[in-house]
Structure 1
Amino acid sequence: MIEFNHVSKKYPNGFEALKDINLTIEQGEFVAIIGLSGAGKSTLLRTINRMHDITEGSLTVDGTDVMQLRGGELRGFRRKIGMIFQSFNLVTRTRVINNVLMSKVPELSFFRALFGIYPKEDKLNALEALDKVGILDKAFVRADQLSGGQQQRVALARTLAQNPQIILADEPVASLDPVTAKQVMGDFQRINKEMNITILLNIHHVDLALQYASRVVGIRSGAIVYDGPASEVTEEILNEIYEGKQKEAEG
C-alpha cells in the first residue's frame, strides 16, 4: 500500500509542484495519472522511490516511512520498485538479455559485476521476463536493432527481472506510434492482472489511460482534482483536469 498524507513538494526556487496530496493506492492496482504538462505527474511518481524528496507531509509504502530511509535501507527499498522511462534507458550496443540482467547488478559481488558474470538462475529469470513481454526470440539480438516498442518491452522485462512489488512508469508510451503504444499498455495491463504488481503510470494519452487502467488520478497545478474509476471519467471531469488552468488564468 502507498499512502500520501498531506504531501507537498516545493523546489528551492519556490515552485510548489505538489500541494497537499492525499492518496492511497492498494497493492495490485493499475493507476494512470493524467494532467497537463507541468501539473506534477512526474513529481508525484518520483516521490514514491525517493527520486524526489517531499517537503511536507508523510509518504509511506507498506508502512515504511520513505523519508526515513538512508543508505543500504534506501537501496533495498528501491529494489522493490521498478522504474520505466520514456527513453527506455537501455545500453543499445549490447544484447537484449544483457540489458535485462543489469537489473541484477546490485545483488552481485564487485568481481561478478565488473566482468558481467551472472548466476544461471539470473539468466533463466531474465529469459522468463522476456517471455512474459513476448520478445524471448530477441534475447540475443543487440538492443539497437529493435523497434521502439520492442525496446520498451526490454525495459519492462528488466524491471520484471528484479521481482518488484511496484512499477512506476514515467510516460512509457510517449515516443511510440499509436499501435505500438496500445501493445505496450496491454503488456502493463496483463502483468498487473497476472502478477498482482501495483502499477502507477503517468501518461498524456487520455484515451489509453481510460482504456487500460482501472483507476485514474487527475492532477492540475499540483493538486488532485479527480480520483476514481477509469470507467467513471466524464467529459466534464476531463475539462476540470485540462481546462481548469485556463479558467484560473481567465478568472
Structure 2
Amino acid sequence: MIEFINVEKTYPNGTVALENINLKIEQGEFVAVIGLSGAGKSTLIRCINRMHDITSGQLVVDGVDVGKLKGKQIRRFRRRIGMIFQSFNLVTRTSVINNVLVSFVPDLPLWRKSLGIFTVEQKIKALDALDKVGILDKAYIRVDQLSGGQQQRVALARTLAQNPDIILADEPIASLDPVTSKLVMDDFKKVNKEMNISVIMNIHHVEVALEYADRIIGVRKGEIVFDGEAALVTQELLDEIYGGKVDEVKSSLEESVAYV
C-alpha cells in the first residue's frame, strides 16, 4: 500500500508542486494521474520512489517511511519499484536482452559487474520478461532497430525482470502513435491484472486514462481535485481538473490521431 499523509513538495525556487496530498493506493490498483502540464503529476509519482524528496508530511509504502531511508536503504527500496519513462532510457547500440539484463546489475558481485557476466537464471528471467510483453523474438536484435512501441515494451520488460511490486510510468505513451499506444497500454493492463502489480501512471491522454485505469486522480495546481473510479468521471469533473481547458487537450489528441 502507498499512503500520502499531508504531503507537500516545494522546489528550491519556491514553486509549490504538491500541496496537502492525502491518498491511499492499494496493491494491484491501476491508477492514472491526469491534469495539465505543470500541475504536479510527475512530481506526485516521482516522490513514491524518492526521485524527489517531499518537503513535509509523510509518505509510506508497505509500512516503510520513505522519507527516512538513506543510502543503501533507498537503493534496496527502489528495487521493488519499476520506473518507466517517456524517453525509454535504453542503450540503443546493444541488444534487447542486454538492456533487460541491466535490471540485475545491482545484484551482481563486483567481478561479474566488471566482466558483464550474468547467470543462466538471470538470462532466463530476462527472456521470460520479454515473452510477457510479446517481443521474445526480438531478444538478440539491437534496440535501435526497433520501433518506438517495441522500445517501450523493452523498457517494460526490463522493469518486469526486477520483479517489482509497483510500476511508476511517467507519460509512457506520449511519444507513440495511437495504434502503438494501445498495444503498450494493453501490456500495462495485462501486467497489472495477471501479476497484481500496482500501476501508477502520469498521462495526458484523457480518453486512454479513462479506458484503462480503474481509478483516476485529478491534479490541479499541486492539489488533488478528484480521486475516484474512472466510471465516475464526468465532463464537469474534467473541466474542474483542467480548468476549463479539457477541450484543448482532447483537440490535441484528435489531431494526433488524424495525423497518423
For the aligned residues, what is the CA RMSD? 1.0
User: Corresponding residue for 1:20?
Assistant: 20
Counterpart Cα distance in 2 of 1:53 and 1:26: 22
In structure 2, C-alpha distance between the alignment counterparts of 1:245 and 1:62, rounded to whole Å: 37
Deviations 1:22-79 (A, max 9, x none): 0100000000000000000000000000000000100000010000001111110000
The CA deviation string for residues 183-230 of structure 1, in whole angstroms up to 9 with x for no partner, is 101100110000000000000000000001110000000000000001
What is the match of residue 209 of structure 2?
A: 209
What is the match of residue 32 of structure 2? 32
Residue correspondence of structure 1 range 181-200 to structure 2 within 5 A: 181-200=181-200
Amino acid at match of 2:198: T
CA contact (8 A) 2:239 2:245 kept: no
Separation of aligned partners in 1, 2:160 and 2:93: 21
- Report SS of the residue matched to 1:101: helix
Equivalent residue number for residue 52 of structure 1 = 52
1:180 aligns with 2:160: no
Percent identical residues: 70
Structure 1 runs (4+) greater than 6 angstroms displaced = none
C-alpha distance in 1, partners of 2:244/2:47? 25
Q: Which residue of 1 aligns with 2:84?
A: 84
Alignment-derived partner of residue 254 in structure 2? none
State how far apart, in whole Å, the 1-side matches of 2:155 and 2:101 are: 11
Q: What residue number does 1:221 align with?
A: 221
Mapping of residues 42-191 of structure 1, within 5 Å: 42-191=42-191
Letter in 2 for 1:172: P
For structure 2, list consecutive stretches of 5 or more residues without a partner in the other structure: 247-260
* CA distance in structure 2 between the partners assigned to 1:113 and 1:84 by the alignment: 23
Q: Distance in 1 between matches of 2:143 and 2:8?
A: 39
TM-score normalised to structure 2 length: 0.93
- Count of aligned positions: 246
Work out the CA distance in 1 between the residues paired with 2:33 and 2:231: 14
DSSP-derived class of the 2:173 partner: coil
TM-score by length of 1: 0.97
Shift of 1:114: 1.8
* Per-residue deviation, 1:244: 5.5
What do the CA deviations read for 1:153-198 (whole angstroms, capped 9, x no partner)? Answer: 0000000000000000000000000000011011001100000000
Tell me the secondary structure at the aligned position of residue 22 of structure 1. strand
Tell me what 1:11 maps to.
11
